[in-house]
Amino acid sequence: MRRKTIALSCLVCLALLSNLAFAADVPSDAQKRTRLGKYVTAVEAYAMYLKDKDHVTIIDVRTPEEYDLVGHPAMARNIPVMLRTGQFDPAKKNYGLAPNRDFVDRVKAVAGKSDLLVVLCRSGQRSAAAANKLAEAGFTDVWSMVDGFEGEKVADKDSPDYGKRVRDGWKNTGSPWTYDLDPALVYIVPVN
């Protein structure tokens, strides 16, 4: 009887730990935190996908331009949370972004509210914002990929890679990515 109890306890512990196997640390950057508190790294996200391809949807929330020109996970659906405005912001030294008003509706068209979703952006901030929008809309199993597609910039000023995104992130960890566009996965910008 004691052996059965120990064996059962071990199985329960393993079952509980299997859910924790895909859980990155809570990001120190507040802009990368989500209401649901579900975080994965690029390596973990790809492992989740491989474990259950039919029930894990990877959503790339970057702009269509980034998805096309920088590359994307081969199986990721592009549904941008923000869209380019075409306006250059000299203070920020970049082109402005504006919220994509049909983001949640586009996700609802491809996923149910209890489906497992992994959202990713360049480096983790927009994916957190996307996860929060989806949580507000009633989605319950949304994971934010904290290191994004490109990863974080190298902060070591003595490194030849200073300022480059060459560590972590989907693109730098050996997970499959492509420049090829699959018509079933790309975002089609609505024509007004």
Digit-coded pLDDT (tens) for 45-91: 999 999 999 999 999 999 999 999 999 999 999 999 999 999 998 99
Range of the domain at 131: 23-178
Q: What is the CATH number of the domain that holds 82?
A: 3.40.250.10
Does residue 144 belong to any structural domain of this protein? Answer: yes
* Distance between CA atoms of residues 151 and 128, nearest Å: 14
Structural domain tally of the chain?
A: 1
Does residue 75 belong to any structural domain of this protein? Answer: yes
Q: 64 CB contacts (<8 Å, ≥6 apart)? A: 78, 80, 83, 186, 187, 189
Both tokens of 109, joined, read 């068209």
Does residue 40 belong to any structural domain of this protein? Answer: yes
Does residue 6 belong to any structural domain of this protein? Answer: no
Q: Are strands 72-73 and 177-178 parallel, antiparallel or unpaired?
A: antiparallel
Q: From residue 166, how far is each of 123, 155, 172 by CA, in Å?
A: 11, 11, 6
Does residue 4 belong to any structural domain of this protein? Answer: no
Does residue 28 belong to any structural domain of this protein? Answer: yes
pTM: 0.84
Does residue 35 belong to any structural domain of this protein? Answer: yes
Phi, psi of 44, deg, nearest 5:
-65, -40
Phi, psi of 105, deg, nearest 5:
-60, -35
Digit-coded pLDDT (tens) for 136-161: 999 999 999 999 999 888 899 999 98
Does residue 7 belong to any structural domain of this protein? Answer: no
